[in-house]
A and B are shown apart, each in its own frame.
Chain A
């Protein structure tokens, strides 16, 4: 009896191991592609949120100490001056967590933003214009009608990004 169940258990585990090994092989081939995709996406979104980004004259580094989920620092290659700070921040919306990429320039103005992931059921939050570009004043924030909760989350993202950016630039000056 015990022998029999041991055999079946080992058969099952052999199958599982074979499958896991197979997956490992596939993963070995696909994970670099996925990573490359991610990097390309980041570059693409960075050029979307800061229209003046130029890969020839600017460098992207990440700031690990930042409070934001991810922080990219865009600085000039020549002078090493910090030009843009780009944050990935998130906030809980109506039905899901909204993740946004927001870029703030050295004059402390928002140059662009992009909703990276949102599974909100209502309202087209990804294409709505929140009227925040070129501004740092949340009073000009334009709520998406009918999606109060999602808008609130987006607003919170802006707020977080602006407060992080404030620190970043203030710290830089000191």
Chain B
């Protein structure tokens, strides 16, 4: 009977019983983030310093300041809210430190700074971090209890409230001096362009540069190669399920390929859509968050399929250039329904007339969204 442990939620994974536990998982996530952070510092600080194009030294090292302050703010907010709520019987300072060690307060802040425009005003960033941390995580009871991804709640709050601050904040002073970059991020220039053309890729230094990531964009999002390294590490360590990123990116690739063909464009178009913006980062670090994504394989595949469609919907049909954050938060909700349904399927163990309605609804939604994406996404 030892195999069947009856414990109260949250259940992170069976790993709690074996060697791996949440703290090693979170350590692995941090390690996987290192390449992206390193590249962000190289691109936004080292290159700027080397080229000597900056108005002040504060401006040059601004990304490092945000990279330190945002996780710190999030940690402080976590400590304060833990103290105020007195959760799990925290009485002394020592208890608080112990609790902080296992609640991973730095992650929401770190993620938010990595998916936000680089030169966003500091107070805007910190307010968004605080909102993401407190509203998205602590009000729900802290680590493991949240139903929305806290970092994405903060990011959505930022986009909703401070939209006027977000426009040029993507560009370094270095990038602003180069003409080709004057149209902001690749996705914004695509949204602004009247028709799709490969010039957009060439303006940003070709497909290879999009892969490397030396173009304007959020701190941690631009370098697909660095994210890929992190992803491989996480998959090898079995921290994340490979199904979610692979199916997610595959769906996006497939739909944008069809849209590209209809518009008479080549393979560059789907590649461009996947390499730019936060898709890769979202697919690896955000969509796979164990607390907010479905728990079963089938559920995860359904989740990732809809996620890909939604991202295409918000990007190519909607009037926002990005759309990854919105689609992942949306899927956090739909994921709850998927999770419930798939669990029920597994308990009943076979598809009967009675319990197939969920699959039918899913398929109808899937097809409808697919058709809508393809019909409306063509420019």
Q: Top 4 closest A-B pairs, CB basis? A: A146-B163, A146-B164, A145-B164, A148-B319
Query: Smallest distance from the beta carbon of A148 to chain B beta carbons, Å?
Result: 7
Q: Please give me the residue from chain A that is nearest to B164 by CB atom.
A: A146
Query: Smallest distance from the beta carbon of A145 to chain B beta carbons, Å?
Result: 7
Q: For the complex, what is the distance from the CA of A56 to the CA of B156, rounded to whole Å?
A: 56
Q: Mark B167-201, 1 if CB is under 8 A from A, else 0.
A: 10000000000000000000000000000000000
Chain A residues near B319 (CB, 8 Å)? 148
**Number of interface residues, chain A, beta carbon within 8 A:** 3
Chain B residues near A145 (CB, 8 Å)? 164, 167
Q: For the complex, what is the distance from the CA of A146 to the CA of B163, rounded to whole Å?
A: 7
Q: Which residues of B contact A (CB under 8 A)?
A: 163-164, 167, 319
Query: Smallest distance from the beta carbon of B279 to chain A beta carbons, Å?
Result: 24
Q: Mark A42-79, 1 if CB is under 8 A from B, else 0.
A: 00000000000000000000000000000000000000
Q: For the complex, what is the distance from the CA of A145 to the CA of B163, rounded to whole Å?
A: 10
Chain B residues near A146 (CB, 8 Å)? 163-164
Q: List 5 A-B contacts (CB under 8 A).
A: A145-B164, A145-B167, A146-B163, A146-B164, A148-B319
Query: Smallest distance from the beta carbon of A124 to chain B beta carbons, Å?
Result: 11
Chain A, 94-146, CB within 8 A of any chain B CB:
145-146
Q: Which residues of A contact B (CB under 8 A)?
A: 145-146, 148
Q: For the complex, what is the distance from the CA of A148 to the CA of B186, rounded to whole Å?
A: 21
Q: Please give me the residue from chain B that is nearest to A145 by CB atom.
A: B164
Query: Smallest distance from the beta carbon of A91 to chain B beta carbons, Å?
Result: 18
Q: Please give me the residue from chain B that is nearest to A148 by CB atom.
A: B319
Q: Please give me the residue from chain A that is nearest to B166 by CB atom.
A: A146
Query: Smallest distance from the beta carbon of B252 to chain A beta carbons, Å?
Result: 25
Q: For the complex, what is the distance from the CA of A145 to the CA of B164, rounded to whole Å?
A: 8
Query: Smallest distance from the beta carbon of B354 to chain A beta carbons, Å?
Result: 42
Query: Smallest distance from the beta carbon of A151 to chain B beta carbons, Å?
Result: 13
Query: Smallest distance from the beta carbon of B188 to chain A beta carbons, Å?
Result: 13
Q: For the complex, what is the distance from the CA of A146 to the CA of B164, rounded to whole Å?
A: 7
Q: Please give me the residue from chain B that is nearest to A146 by CB atom.
A: B163
Q: For the complex, what is the distance from the CA of A37 to the CA of B319, rounded to whole Å?
A: 41
Chain B residues near A148 (CB, 8 Å)? 319
Query: Smallest distance from the beta carbon of A153 to chain B beta carbons, Å?
Result: 15
Q: Please give me the residue from chain A that is nearest to B160 by CB atom.
A: A122
Q: For the complex, what is the distance from the CA of A122 to the CA of B340, rounded to whole Å?
A: 37
Q: For the complex, what is the distance from the CA of A146 to the CA of B159, rounded to whole Å?
A: 11
Q: For the complex, what is the distance from the CA of A146 to the CA of B160, rounded to whole Å?
A: 11
Q: For the complex, what is the distance from the CA of A148 to the CA of B319, rounded to whole Å?
A: 10
Q: For the complex, what is the distance from the CA of A148 to the CA of B163, rounded to whole Å?
A: 13
Query: Smallest distance from the beta carbon of B328 to chain A beta carbons, Å?
Result: 23
Q: Please give me the residue from chain A that is nearest to B167 by CB atom.
A: A145
Q: For the complex, what is the distance from the CA of A69 to the CA of B178, rounded to whole Å?
A: 50
Q: Please give me the residue from chain A that is nearest to B319 by CB atom.
A: A148
Q: For the complex, what is the distance from the CA of A148 to the CA of B167, rounded to whole Å?
A: 15
Query: Smallest distance from the beta carbon of B317 to chain A beta carbons, Å?
Result: 15
Query: Smallest distance from the beta carbon of B142 to chain A beta carbons, Å?
Result: 33
Chain A residues near B167 (CB, 8 Å)? 145
Query: Smallest distance from the beta carbon of A157 to chain B beta carbons, Å?
Result: 21
Q: Please give me the residue from chain B that is nearest to A149 by CB atom.
A: B319
Q: For the complex, what is the distance from the CA of A145 to the CA of B167, rounded to whole Å?
A: 10
Q: For the complex, what is the distance from the CA of A7 to the CA of B319, rounded to whole Å?
A: 61
Query: Smallest distance from the beta carbon of B159 to chain A beta carbons, Å?
Result: 11
Q: For the complex, what is the distance from the CA of A69 to the CA of B218, rounded to whole Å?
A: 48
Query: Smallest distance from the beta carbon of B342 to chain A beta carbons, Å?
Result: 37
Q: For the complex, what is the distance from the CA of A146 to the CA of B320, rounded to whole Å?
A: 11
Q: Please give me the residue from chain B that is nearest to A122 by CB atom.
A: B163
Q: For the complex, what is the distance from the CA of A146 to the CA of B319, rounded to whole Å?
A: 11
Q: For the complex, what is the distance from the CA of A137 to the CA of B163, rounded to whole Å?
A: 29
Q: For the complex, what is the distance from the CA of A145 to the CA of B319, rounded to whole Å?
A: 13
Q: For the complex, what is the distance from the CA of A132 to the CA of B229, rounded to whole Å?
A: 54
Query: Smallest distance from the beta carbon of A128 to chain B beta carbons, Å?
Result: 13
Query: Smallest distance from the beta carbon of A63 to chain B beta carbons, Å?
Result: 38
Q: For the complex, what is the distance from the CA of A146 to the CA of B167, rounded to whole Å?
A: 10
Chain A residues near B164 (CB, 8 Å)? 145-146
Query: Smallest distance from the beta carbon of A17 to chain B beta carbons, Å?
Result: 50
Q: For the complex, what is the distance from the CA of A15 to the CA of B164, rounded to whole Å?
A: 55
Query: Smallest distance from the beta carbon of B320 to chain A beta carbons, Å?
Result: 11
Query: Smallest distance from the beta carbon of B117 to chain A beta carbons, Å?
Result: 15
Query: Smallest distance from the beta carbon of B322 to chain A beta carbons, Å?
Result: 15
Query: Smallest distance from the beta carbon of B331 to chain A beta carbons, Å?
Result: 25
Q: For the complex, what is the distance from the CA of A146 to the CA of B165, rounded to whole Å?
A: 11
Query: Smallest distance from the beta carbon of A110 to chain B beta carbons, Å?
Result: 27
Q: For the complex, what is the distance from the CA of A129 to the CA of B163, rounded to whole Å?
A: 20
Q: For the complex, what is the distance from the CA of A148 to the CA of B192, rounded to whole Å?
A: 13
Query: Smallest distance from the beta carbon of B132 to chain A beta carbons, Å?
Result: 22
Query: Smallest distance from the beta carbon of A149 to chain B beta carbons, Å?
Result: 9
